[in-house]
Each structure stands twice: as C-alpha cells, then as structure tokens.
A and B are shown apart, each in its own frame.
Chain A
Amino acid sequence: MLDCGLDMTSTLNFLPLPLVQNPRLSNLPGWSLKDGNAFLDKELKECSGHVFVDSVPEFCLPETELIDLSTVDVILISNYHCMMALPYITEHTGFTGTVYATEPTVQIGRLLMEELVNFIERVPKAQSASLWKNKDTQRLLPSPLKDAVEVSTWRRCYTMQEVNSALSKIQLVGYSQKIELFGAVQVTPLSSGYALGSSNWIIQSHYEKVSYVSGSSLLTTHPQFSVVFQPMDQASLKNSDVLILTGLTQIPTANPDGMVGEFCSNLALTVRNGGNVLVPCYPSGVIYDLLECLYQYIDSAGLSSIPFYFISPVANSSLEFSQIFAEWLCHNKQTKVYLPEPPFPHAELIQTNKLKHYPSIHGDFSNDFRQPCVVFTGHPSLRFGDVVHFMELWGKSSLNTVIFTEPDFSYLEALAPYQPLAMKCIYCPIDTRLNFIQVSKLLKEVQPLHVVCPEQYTQPPPAQSHRVDLMIDCQPPAMSYRRAEVLALPFRRRYEKIEIMPELADSLVPMEIKPGISLATVSAVLHTKDNKHVLQVPPRGGWGPPPRPAQPTGGKKRKRPSDDIPDCKVLKPLLSGSIPVEQFVQTLEKHGFSDIKVEDTAKGHIVLLQEAETLIQIEEDSTHIICDNDEVLRVRLRDLVLKFLQKF
C-alpha cells in the first residue's frame, strides 16, 4: 500500500469546536427540511446560509471496501502528511504487515497526530450526529452535505493509544536503504526534497522497476525556499518501467515565492495599522519556511518589536525536532549543526524573544499576550484547535487579518461558519511540491517507460480549461486512474534471476558456439525459497536413479534432503549444427548405401535409400530416420548423422 493519507476536508462540514463556551455557535438555529420537518435540527445548524453538522468532527478514511486490508503486507509512507490515517488501518482492519517510513516522518507524523487528537479530545462533545448520514435523508440536505461521498464510512478521530500502537508497527528506514520484501522485490526510499524526511520510493525486482513519486520538491533556485531538506534524488528514478506520480502541487498557478511575498506584505500592512495577524497552520512544514522568511524580513519591515506566537500542543517538540534531524537536512543546514549553530533561524527568533511558543492559549500565553501580534496556530480547517478561539476573538475587527497558507482546505469553506466576518482574509497558499513545468522536466530527465497518475493531472483544471500547460504532458501519454479504479500496470514479469552456487559454476564447461556465445549444459537442483532461486550441485551419484535411501533405523521413516530430488533420467548430449546434404550422401555411399535419391522439401531435404526402403528426413531442427523395423540399420544411420553434429 502506497501511503495512508486522511481526507480531512470532511471536517469542513462540521461546526467548529470552540475552546470556551461560545454563545454565537451554541445559539445557531437548527436546520429543518423544506416541509418544516425539524427532526434534524439537533444535528444540523444553519449559519449564514450554510448548514453544518453539530457534532464531533469526522474524517474520511482511505478506501476500505475494494481490498481486504488485512492482506496488505507492507505500507510505504512518503511523508508525514501521508500517514494520518495509519491508526484506522493498523488498528481496525486486521492489518498485520509492516509500515516503512523514515525517522523524521514518524516523529513529525506523531506530532501531527498528537495535535489532532489533543485538539479534539480537549473539548469533548457529547453529541454525535448520525441521522443525517442516512442515505435517504442525505439526499434532502443542501450542498455540500448532499454531495459528500461515503459519509457512512466517516469516523471520529482516533485516540492516542491507537496512535502509539500504529506507530509501533512502523519500521524506520534511511534514504537509499535497500529493504528486501519477501525476496520478491526490494524497496528503497529516496529523498524527495519536500519535507523533513520525505521520500519517494523505488520498488524493484531484478528486471523491473517501479518508482513511486509523491510529494516532491525541486525548489533549488528559489531564494525564499533555499533548499532546506536534502534535495530530491532524481538520478535513482531513472530507468523505471513505471513511474507512479502523485502529490503534485495543489495550486499550480501560485508560485511559492510570490505567495511568501504576499504573505509578508499583508502581514506587515496589518501589523503596521495596529491589527493582528492569524496564520492557521500545521505545527510542521510550511511554518518553518514562513519563520525563516520572516526572520530575514521583520527587520527590514520595521517589525522587530512585534511578537510572534506559535501555539500548538506540540509546538515545542516541533521546533526542537527540526533542529536535531541534521542528517535529513540539506548540506548548508547540516554544516550549521556542526558550527554549532541551529540550522533553522527560528532558534534565534526564540532566543531573542521575538518568537514565543505555547502549548495552548491557556496558562502562560494569557499572561504574555500582547497586541498587535502574529499568531501561528492550528488547525488549518478552522474547525478545531486554538485557531477557533482567535477567529472568534479577532473576526469582528477589520484591522485584523487571517492569512491562509496551507493549500489543503478551501479557505472560503473554512471561513463559512464564521460569517459574517469583518477581519480581512488573504489567501496565500504555499505549496512547494512539483508543478507541471517541473514535472515535465523531471520526466524528461528520468524517462520512465510509463507514467501512471490520477486522472486530474491529465486534464487542465476545470476552472481553467484553456490552461493546457497545467497538465502532465509526456510521451507516451500518462495512464490515468480515478477513485476505486483497478489498473493493470503496463509491464509483465518475464525473467527471474537465478543464482548458481560456486561449486556448480566451477563444474561447467562452456563451449563456444559462435564467436562470443558459449553454451554449457547445466545439471543441477533448482532450489526456490522466499522467491530466491538457486541452482545447487546435484547430489553425488550423478543422474542415475536416486540412491536408495538407507534403511531407516528404529523403524521411523525420516525425510531426508535427498528425498526432495526428483527422479532424473540419464541425459543425452545436446546436439547442434547442420547436416550438409551432399557430404552426407557421399558418406552414405562410402558406407555402402547405393541408389540414393535426394528430394528437396519446403523445410529441408529427404534422402531416400530406395534399396533399403528407408527415408531420412532432414529439417532445420530435426532429423527423422524412417525405416521398417530395422533397428540395426536405424542405429547405423543415426551414427552417420551424428558425425555431422556437435555434441555437448
């Protein structure tokens, strides 16, 4: 299984979970059907023309119907955003396999999960809505609830216990480490340049190679995003039979550099006017980039005195983790670790008190809180986490600004339950993953035989149907797939590699058939175990009938290794070469045959020994001697034929 992501956009259909009692949200009117039926009014609430489920938010799980997940042997994780559904799979489907991921992926993934669990568990909500999920009821609901898919499979958030159990099934791997899977294939994680520990995977046998490219970044020349992590390893992706491509940028028209510029400018303008800035974000990832850019920017913009707050239950761990995974960083950042200097400049921001971090708005934060300020906090969906509090607190003033930088959620949908809203909203999605120009360059460089990708990448975005540059352009055209579609990958396994034991190899006597081509007969036992094939020396005694097993002592019949060896007949030598008819006839004449007649046929020749009433049929790959029950004659003729052929 490649990745195990969680679709969190389902939470946009739910009301936000406020940290403190919120009269506005609790007094929203219940929603009733057009005919006035109000049986759903406890579950659904109406806010500014939108309808929301008033319940604990639920998440859309990966497809579980198509295959039995208990039969999955291995899950390969490419980055920490792509493992958020892991507890659902490992704990509730009978999964007994192994999950492979790099160490930073696991550690930061744990932080993301921990934050998610914490956000939801700290504001327990008694109510759990289920009536609206009834298919007949759902049809009557307004959009987008009406169009939500597979709502019956939506699940509440997992617990910390499940997270720990899921993470315990992960086996840590390092870049370029080769992992044997049952002898059948070898998998290798490669740096994908997107996030701390993010990887692409190569799945290969001796003769086939499949690359899985997910969430990669090539931003090497951008001043804002000076490569932070190890750069993407492109060379190892070459010579792939199939390249499965996913995790491209969600906002192909937004250049990350330009967006960071927008982010900084809007931040400065708001703060300068005495307003506060709210940045809904995950506790890891883009926030590092933003802090690094702000580190360089705040002095030039005269913002040195403005406090920056980072509020997350895992803020402290996140900031610390990013500083210690030196081996996963780019060369520049690695060098800093040995100086010793923290690789990310946010350490300096913390030292100089410009950046402060808190586990939540309670406690120390309320003492230190000073406005105007900039707050980074989760969750980007605006449905849970401390961000809900700030939205309620600052939403009424037009001096304040909320800047969306995470591309995962539609900002308009995220804002819907907060309407009417006076604060300014800026959308600066920063997605450093590959765009279509970069994909095109990558594919030219890597040259896979086939590209497989989601259907969406093979056509322009629906809203910009003329932008044919916003789709994958490769030859042969990419094979696309859609949800729940079963796709046959365009290659067949035709060869297996077989090893020859050294003793056996020593015994071979190759014979040159043509210049450069030698053949040798091999007589051996093919031993197959764990998809590994080995040719071993046959047991002593050669290829006669198997040695009679020693009489079992003690009456018990024991299975011996030699019992496995199949019965073999004595092998005759292999023949090669062709029979020159004229010389053959001369030889026959020399040996006393007369009245020889040669006829040409479509496939060769027929030599007729009329006197002996015998016929020798010579074709390219066979010779038949047809005579009437005269075994002596047949053997004589056979030996004459064999004289013209090579044996080995």
Chain B
Amino acid sequence: MDPECSRLLPALCAVLVDPRQPVADDTCLEKLLDWFKTVTEAGPSLLLLQENPCLVELLFRVLKAHDPRPRVLSFSLRLAGLFAAQEDCFQYLQVTPSSSVSQQGELLPMLFGESGPLGGAAWTAPTVRSGWLQGLRSLAQHPGALRFLADCGAVDTIFSLQGDSSLFVASAAGQLLVHILALAMRGPAEGHPSPQGCDWPACAQKIVCHVEDSLRSTATPQVTQALNVLTTTFGHCHSPWTQGLWVRLSPLVACLLEKDPIPASHSLVDLLLSVARSPVGSSDCGLWETLAQTLSHLSPTQAGPLALGILKLQDCPQALKTQAFGVLLQPLACVLKAAAQAPGPPGFPEGATGDSITVDTFLSSKSACVGLLCQALAHLELLQLLPQRPSPWPQAPLLRAAVAILRFCHGSAAPTSDVGGHLCAVLAGCVRVQRAALDFLGTLSQGTGPQELVTQVFAVLLEYLTSPDSSPMVLKKAFQATLRWLLGSPKAPSCCDLDPHTQLFLGELLPVLRKRLCSPCWEARDSGLEFLTQVTRHWGGQAAFRHALLASEVPELTGQLLRDPESYVRASAVTATGQLSSWGLYATPTGPEHPEVQQESLFTELLHILSTDSEGFPRRAVMHVFTQWLKDGHADVAEDLEQFVARVLQAASQDLDWEVRAQGLELALVFLEQLLGQPGSRCPYAVALPEAAPPATLAQVLQALCRVQLFEFALRALFDCDRPVAQKSCDLLLFLKAKATPCGGPQEAGASPDVVSVEAALQRWQAGEQGQPLGELEPEAVMAVLRSMDLEGLRGMLAKSSDHMEKSPQSLLQDMLATVGVLGENEADCY
C-alpha cells in the first residue's frame, strides 16, 4: 500500500467508527472497497492487516459500537470478507484479539455468527443483510470457510434470507448458496458423486436437501427460490457433479409439471434452458422429454420463451425443435385461420395449426391477446436472424400472417369467423401490435416470397403510410419496413434498373411521402426525410427512381424543410438535401413564401444554417454533409475547393457545439488526406500519392493549408476546452507533422519573428485567452512550431481521462477526510 495512504488510513478508520462524524456517501465506501479489493488481490492481506492495525481495530469497534450505523456496518462486513478470502488471513481474523480495544474475541464469528449483527437491531436494515451476504461470499473461498459456515450456522440464515423482502438481499442469498455448494463440491467430492448424495459433503448435502424440500413445497415463492438456485448452479458450474445433481432433482422438477397451475413457470423455463445449455443437457436424454412435456403443459404465453430458448440450442433433437417452432407459430396460425376467407391450412408446418388453447388465450382478454401476439412476433423476429433458425423457414405463411395482423390492426380486414371478429375488435388501432408486426415484416424482407404476397406486403405498407391514423411511431416503423422491402426487391433482369412492380409502387409511394413531408406532426416529417435519405443513398443512381423523384415535388419540399421550426426536422432535411444534391437530384426550392428571391446554391444555404441555426442538430448535420461532399468530390465543392474548406472551417471554428468543431477537424483531415495522401496507405496498386509528398508539392500544400486557415483552426482546437476536440486536433497535427517532416521541407526557420509570435499566441490560447487571431501565417513558421511542440506528449496526456488525477486512492481518502474536516482546513468555518 502506498505509504501516504497508510498514513491517512488510521484517521479514516477513526472517522468511520465515530458516531458523531457524518458518514461519507455510499459511493465513497464502494470506491474504498474497490480499492481494498485491488490491494488484497495484489498482495497478502495478512501483511496488510499487520501493517495497518487500524483496520482490525475498525472491525472491532464497529462490532462493539452501541448503535452502529448500517452503512458502516455493512462496509465492515464486506471488508472483513475481502480480507478473510485468503486462508492465512482468515485464520488470523478467527483468533486475533484487538490490540487496543478492551474486548477480545474471535472476530469472524462475532461478525458473521449469531452473536453478531444477525440478532441486533441493525439487521433490520437491508444494507446490513446485504453486506453480511457479500462478506460471506468473499470469504467462502477455502475449505476453512466451509467449516466456519457450518459452525456458525450461517447456511440456515442464508436459507431464510432467500425469501427476504429486499430483492437484492434475496438474490444475493440465492447466489451465495450456489457459491457455497460449488465450493463444497470442489476437492474430494469432485468427480461423479452418486446421485443419492451419501458421499456428498455435509454442507452440500444440506443445501441440496433444502432445495429438494423447497421443490416439494406448495408455496410458489419457495419453489421459485429453489428453481432460481438451480438455474444459477447449472448456468455457472459445469463440473461433473452437476450431472449427479440433475439426476437427483429432475424427478422433483418433473413433478412440478403435474401441478395445475404450474408453479413458478418463468423460473422453471429458465432452469430447463439453463440445464439444456450446460454439459448436463447433451448427455441426458430425459431432459429432452421433460422439455417436450413442459412445452405442451405451459400456456402459450409461458411456453414462448422456452420455445425460443430450445430453438437457440445447438444440439437438440429435431422433433423437439419442430415442437418448439410449432409453439412459436401457434399465435400466427390462429391469426391466419381467423383471417381466412375460405377454410384451408395456413401453410405452417405440422404442429402449428392454431390450437384451441391459443384461441382461448386470444379470446380471454385484450391484454392477453396483444401480449401473446407481440411476444410471438418478437421471438420469430429474433429467430429469423439466427443461423440455426428452423429450415425450411415458412416465409410465405409468415408473410401472410404479418399482413393479416397489420390489416386487423388497421381495421381493413373483413373476417368471417367469430375469432376473426374478436381479433378485429381487440387489435383495431393497437399501436403495440402494429409496431411489433411492422418490425417483423421488415425482418422478413431478408427472404423472398411469391409476387402476389409481396404485392400484398407493399399494399399493406402503403395503407399504413397513407393512413391518417398511423401514430408517429407506427409511421416510422412503416417507413423502415418499406425501405427494407424496397431495397430487398429484385432488379429487373434485363437491366440494372428497378423492376416494374417496384416502379409501380414508387409511383404510389412518392405522393404519400410528399404529403407526409407536409404533415403538421414533426415526427412524420422527420421519418419521411429519413426514409428519403436512405432510399436516395441506395437508389440515387437508378434511372427509374430519379425520374419518379424528380417528377414528384419531393425534392422541393425537402428544401423547404430546411427552414422547419423543429430542429430535428431541419437536421434531417439537411442530411436529405445533402444526399439528394450528391446525386444531382436537388433543385433549389421555389416556394410561395419568397418567389421573388433569387435562390442561392444549396452550399450557401447549408453554410447559412451552420452559421446561424440556434440548435446543434442541424449544424452537426451540415458538417456531416460537407465532409461527405468533400469525400465524394461534390460539384459545389470541386468548383473552388479551397474556398469551400476555408468558409466551412471558419464557420465551424466559431461554433459553440464541440461536436461541430470536432466534425470540422474531421473535414480538415479529409482535406489533408486528399492533399497529402491517406495515412498509412500501402496499397501497391493504388494510384496514390507517395507516402510523403515531394518538397515542391509539400510547399504548395502548406501554402494551401495556410490560405484556408486550417492551421489556425487546428491549433486553436488543440487547446479546446472539450477533450475530444483537442485529441482530434492533436491527431491531425501529428499526421501533418509526420507527412511533412521526412522530406525535410523548408528547414529550420530558427527563432524567426513569425515563430516567436505564433508561440506567444499559442501560450495565450493555452492560458484561455483565445480571442486573439494568429494573423497571416507562413508555412515555415508553422512547421517550425509543430516541430517544437511535444504533440506526442500532449496526445498521451489527453488520452488520460479528465479525472485521472482525482481517481487515485490517496485522493479518495483525502476527500473522505476533508468531508468531515479532519484535515483541519475547514475549521475556521465552524461556529
């Protein structure tokens, strides 16, 4: 331990036990524990205690305090546990008497035994119970600890704490039991103990018997506790003994299935999946039968998570997978059946035919129906993305089901059956199901489907995009799903252009998009713009798309939205117009607002937003667009590259938003790369600039950088109060330095007047006086300054987090002491 910390420790311990002193907040105590943990992990705890007797004294004093403060008591219990994790220290604490406290005794039994806080008033505080459990959790690392636990009767207390009113305490108790069980089974018992448990250590035997009793209990909370302990055991312990444990307990678990209703079904599902994922699962055939039985016994809503879990398993019998898939498909099969105009199979694999239990769930209540459908859709969506998804994947019926659900929700379905009528009434306008179904439909775009079905998909999506009743969130999801289906649609075989169906759909979609861009609801305008940006990004070069878009008035409306009152919309409009302009699809708007005003170029308009918009989002969006334009060689940029960069950097340098300034540096870097070549580009086939530009070119480059005032921007950013900006600037200057130095360049300018003035300015900037400009810069002077600066050192410093000074343990101890005034600095403030 740091000597300075050792020096401060006695004072801190004294503060902690002094009831008159306010206790530092929980965060400080947690930090202190973290620090002790690193210290004990790094070296022998015994030595630590011997060198710092105040620590043991602290534990004694807290124990003997008349009315210990719960926080400090909890802290002490956890601290003692940390020390006792090492066996020699454990023994030391078992027997050590305190040096200065009159009372003597065995510290650990006093802390964790029945004579300790266990029976006292402090035990009512959950934090003390939690500290007691965590202390034991740290302590239980060696055989000695097991004996100690047995002797002090801790295990029974842990059993009772499983049902604690505090969830944290109850959960910690369960986990501790698992930890003790694993510790007990380690060593002599490890291997393949008999399931009967005659050769199991006593402590393990006791815990397993308790779990067995709980499983037999008629009280659901007890069953839940037992199942949770087992779930954690099989999740964390993969030793052979767990197999014996399962053999012993599986009949009891199977018995739970015979009860009606099945108790703690959620926990049961978790346990079965945990066992199935563990090595036990691969060797026990009975498990698959139990899983199959559970699937058929649980209600559709309870069985869903189990079915998904089974389908995610790597090795699992095909029959079980088919059954599980059937469970997931049941709700959708029901929907298809209810929506069918004519009777017929829904087209799902056998086992998913819309059974009566699922129908009953649908009919029982609105919340049950909505819950089941949303769950099924979410599970199937997850499954679709997995490599081990069932094959063949019933794409067509799933598509039909998703479309049917969306029609039910929209009220456009016309079912003939009673269930259909009920579904219609329950789902009409249900936003939750609409969102889930649209997400699912979007995921299904990864597969194909018969053209007639795809047409239905586009039709229902168009219904949602058109409907005035679509909520903003539903509309957004509908746009997202539409985008996925559009981008997934096949190209016409003859050429690279869009296929006729897609073109037809675009013809219907663009007027809807146009209307959405005029919506009074800003979320609708925003979603519309995001959709436009994405679709243009992918299809900007497709002739059919270009033709339809240019004829649609959408680009003009997008331009209009650059002046939207809502900043999010302005930001999205900036991105969209930037994208449109990149593809030559943007025409400057001529709205009725100012028909007489001569329209300026988009660049000027975006630059105006960058300089004047009061909100950060649009300005950040402008910087992103400009950077992209620079990368793409946009026509407006290429026209006068230096002018472009200079104006953008000037606007960005004055921005109050650090993200805009950082993005300015990003743009500057792109500019530099274009002039000097990519950092580290080694592609032998690339027609790229050599690693370092030839001297003559470099001089021109530096001149150009001076003209666009990139140096001033970057150097100013180097002292930016926001660390990411300074870091970025440092990286940029290092890149420049690396590029410029090897070739020698214009050599040492010495301490020319220019260099002196630049350095003087930089010092003032560093001191926070950023007002003064650098003025005209000469490349030589800049390079000289760069060479003289310790940029690497600066980068190292910036890489450290801003609170690295304050994070040291010494600082923590000082802070805690300062809070209570022990350091004596605040005495004068006391009256």
Contacts and interface: CB of A to CB of B under 8 A. Distances in A.
B425 A258 contact: no
A445 interface: no
Contacts of B411: 253, 464, 467
Contacts, number: 88
Interface stretch (A65-73, A79-87, A260-268, A447-455): A260-268
A306 B592 CA distance: 8
B428 A467 contact: yes
Contacts of A301: 518, 520, 560
A297 B564 CA distance: 10
Contact of B520 (A254, A297, A302, A466): A297
B98 to A, nearest CB: 65
Contacts of A258: 467-470
A307 B467 CA distance: 29
Contacts of A262: 468, 515
B424 A261 contact: no
B593 A468 contact: no
Interface stretch (B381-389, B415-423, B702-710): B415-423
Interface string B410-445: 010111100011101110110000000000000000
Nearest to A435: B429
B592 A271 contact: yes
B521 interface: yes
A305 B597 CA distance: 14
A554 B413 CA distance: 92
Nearest to B521: A261
A254 B428 CA distance: 12
Contacts of B429: 255, 437
B510 to A, nearest CB: 12
Residue with the highest number of chain A CB atoms closer than 10 Å, among B415, B468, B514: B468
Given A272-B592, A372-B592, A296 B425 contact: no
B519 interface: yes
Nearest to B593: A302
A303 B428 contact: no
A305 B592 contact: yes
B563 interface: yes
A269 B592 contact: no
B565 interface: yes
A261 B524 contact: yes
B425 A254 contact: no
B212 interface: no
B469 A255 contact: yes
Contact of B424 (A224, A268, A428, A468): A468
A437 B557 CA distance: 37
A468 B425 contact: yes
Contacts of A467: 411, 424-425, 428
A261 B414 CA distance: 27
Contact of B515 (A255, A266, A296, A306): A266
Contacts of A268: 518
A62 B133 CA distance: 80
Nearest to A269: B518
Contacts of B413: 466
B591 interface: yes
Contacts of A524: none
Interface in A357-384: 372
B566 interface: yes
A261 B468 contact: yes
B61 interface: no
B587 to A, nearest CB: 14
B472 to A, nearest CB: 10
A272 B524 CA distance: 19
Given A255-B469, A305-B593, A468 B421 contact: yes
Interface string B559-580: 0100111100000000000000
Given A258-B467, A466-B413, A466-B420, A265 B592 contact: no
A28 B468 CA distance: 38
B370 to A, nearest CB: 13
A265 B593 contact: no
A300 interface: yes
B550 to A, nearest CB: 16
Nearest to A223: B521
Contacts of B425: 467-469
B424 A466 contact: yes
B516 interface: yes
Interface in B591-630: 591-593
Contact of B560 (A297, A302, A469): A302
Contacts of B516: 265
Interface in A258-310: 258-262, 264-266, 268-269, 271-274, 293, 296-297, 299-306
Given A258-B468, A272-B592, A304-B593, A265 B420 contact: no
B592 A302 contact: yes
B475 to A, nearest CB: 10
Nearest to A260: B520
Interface in B245-284: none
Residue with the highest number of chain B CB atoms closer than 10 Å, among A297, A466, A468, A469: A466
Contacts of B524: 261
Interface string B444-479: 000000000000000000000001111000000000
A253 to B, nearest CB: 6
Contacts of A224: 520
Nearest to B564: A300
A262 to B, nearest CB: 4
Contact of A272 (B467, B566, B591): B591
Nearest to A468: B425
B414 A466 contact: yes
B596 to A, nearest CB: 11
A265 B515 contact: yes
A303 B592 contact: yes
A636 B553 CA distance: 114
A232 to B, nearest CB: 21
B518 A265 contact: yes
Nearest to A372: B592
Contacts of A306: 592
A537 B424 CA distance: 67
A373 to B, nearest CB: 11
Contacts of B421: 466, 468
A534 B625 CA distance: 87
A304 B565 CA distance: 13
A300 B424 contact: no
A372 B592 CA distance: 9
A269 B514 CA distance: 8
A269 B424 CA distance: 34
B565 A300 contact: yes
Contacts of A468: 421-422, 424-425
Residue with the highest number of chain A CB atoms closer than 10 Å, among B411, B413, B424, B518: B518
Nearest to B522: A300
Given A261-B521, A268-B518, A469-B425, A302 B469 contact: no
A264 B424 contact: no
Given A466-B414, A468-B422, A302 B428 contact: no
A271 B560 CA distance: 14
B473 to A, nearest CB: 14
Given A258-B470, A467-B424, A296 B592 contact: no
A305 B595 CA distance: 11
Please name the 6 residue pairs, one residue from A and one from B, whose CB atoms are nearest each other, closest first.
Answer: A258-B468, A469-B425, A265-B518, A268-B518, A264-B520, A302-B593
Interface of A: 224, 253-255, 258-262, 264-266, 268-269, 271-274, 293, 296-297, 299-306, 372, 428, 437, 464, 466-469
Interface of B: 411, 413-416, 420-422, 424-426, 428-429, 467-470, 514-516, 518-522, 524, 553, 557, 560, 563-566, 591-593
13 contacts: A254-B468, A258-B467, A261-B468, A264-B520, A265-B520, A269-B515, A300-B565, A302-B592, A302-B593, A466-B413, A466-B415, A467-B425, A469-B426
Given A254-B468, A255-B469, A469-B428, 7 more contacts: A255-B429, A264-B518, A271-B592, A301-B520, A303-B593, A437-B429, A469-B425
